[in-house]
Amino acid sequence: MNYIQFVISLGIFLFTLFMVIVKPKNIPIGYSALLGALLALVFGILSLHGVEIVWNIVWNATFTFVAIIISSIIFDEAGVFEYAAIKFARFAKGNGKRMFVYLILLGAIISAFFANDGTALILTPIVVSLLVRTRISGKAMIPFIIATGFIADSSSIPLVISNLVNIVTSSYFHISFLSYAEAMIFPDLVSIGASIFFLYIYFRKDIQESYDTENLSNPEDAIKDPLVFKLFIPVIFLLIVGNSIGGIYDIPVAFISVPLVAALAIISKLKGKVDVKKAVKEAPWQIVIFSLGMYMVVYAFGSNGFTSIMVYLIQATMFLPYPIHLLLSGYLFAAIAATMNNMPSTLLASLAIGQIHNGLTLAYASVIANDIGPKFTPIGSLATLLWLYTLQKKRGIDIKPLYYMKTGFIIGFPVLTITLLSLLLPL
């Protein structure tokens, strides 16, 4: 290992991470990551061939992510998610604890099909609005808000399209859509169940026993475009079937998702009730730029020594009994994700696992760790950053970092542990 190059790559990585987290002069995170990538090229720790390798790893994830988020915004504009939230709130019949569980389940459904970032962007403002209408305010709002942010990540495990982490990992290890779903739907159900249990235990004394249903509007009033609303189930069906068939023939998920969402956008545009231009504009483009730039920085960091360190740490645990080895590897991935964000962590984990014989189970453990582990810190995932931004800037709700970290670790650690262990259960 060239120690000078390692130190330079570490310095560029830390500088980029600082720029992303602190955002001096409000520089968007995407441009900060691109600056880091440019520095890596200038200092010679990243070659143009390395850029090509990174692009081959992330292009599928990038295009799929954009398509899924745009579709979620279109359906949100049509009133799909507000309709569902009001339905769930009415179905709970004024029981606060029941609504708490129902909203977690709604978040899990949205995360499964529209990614964790979709849940953070869309469900958060809907939940806050719902709480205001039902006169749940002050400290009584916190359990619902924390639960929404937590489930966005912890339930984003089941499908390749549920999280950028999943897309990148499945692409890197050439895991088909069906094979991935077969392996990960059960761990996702375990994660959802564990999330509900520990969130409820933690907040049981703070959840308001009952709420006012008088100010809840008619669910049908939330529907702004009946045609797009009716397309919700067919689009999900086509997304799953298309990607399942595509996986058999090694067709990248982007080749299924992008045309399908483009067709949805065209139909929505022709109908004229959903502002498609607004949906495209509101898509988190900075996250796309961030992912590309940060992956280049991380690839340079990994190829200049850090990947070898990770391989050594993983192999050091392989002499321990299997469940302990799996758990320790998962904890390592989770710790890195919580410390440096799960986007760079996912690539580093994939590069390291790729050097280990029979690493498929470790790849799935990496997905779980990089989906749930970020809940330990506010910077762990982009979905969390989006969630915190939405709460603070648009709703005036400020979640303190120390409170978030304490809550995230107390709830997240057992959820992560149980979900990792679920990989060992034969089905």
Residues facing 210 on adjacent strands: 95
pLDDT by residue for the chain (427 residues), tens digit each? 688 999 999 999 999 988 987 889 889 888 999 999 999 999 999 999 999 999 998 899 889 988 998 999 999 999 999 999 999 889 898 899 999 999 999 999 999 999 888 888 788 888 988 888 888 877 889 999 999 999 999 999 999 999 989 999 999 999 999 999 999 999 999 999 999 999 999 999 999 988 888 878 899 999 999 999 999 999 999 999 999 999 888 899 999 999 999 999 999 998 778 888 888 888 878 878 888 898 899 999 999 999 999 999 999 988 888 889 999 999 999 999 998 889 889 999 999 999 987 789 999 999 999 999 999 998 888 778 778 877 876 667 888 888 999 999 999 999 999 999 999 986 5
The answer as to whether 46 is a domain residue is yes
Domain of 148 in residue numbering reads as 3-422
| Cα–Cα distance list, 350 to 79, 154, 310, 362 (Å) | 38, 20, 10, 9
Total domains in the chain come to 1
Can you tell me the distance from the alpha carbon of 168 to that of 291, in angstroms, rounded to the nearest whole number? 11
Could you tell me the pTM of the whole model? 0.90
Can you tell me the distance from the alpha carbon of 71 to that of 239, in angstroms, rounded to the nearest whole number? 11
Give the list of residues 6+ apart from residue 73 with CB closer than 8 angstroms, or none. Answer: 121, 122, 278, 279, 282, 283
Can you tell me the distance from the alpha carbon of 4 to that of 26, in angstroms, rounded to the nearest whole number? 32
The answer as to whether 427 is a domain residue is no
The answer as to whether 144 is a domain residue is yes
Helix (H, G, I), strand (E, B) or coil at 95: strand
- The answer to whether 145 touches 127, Cβ cutoff 8 Å, is yes
The answer as to whether 179 is a domain residue is yes
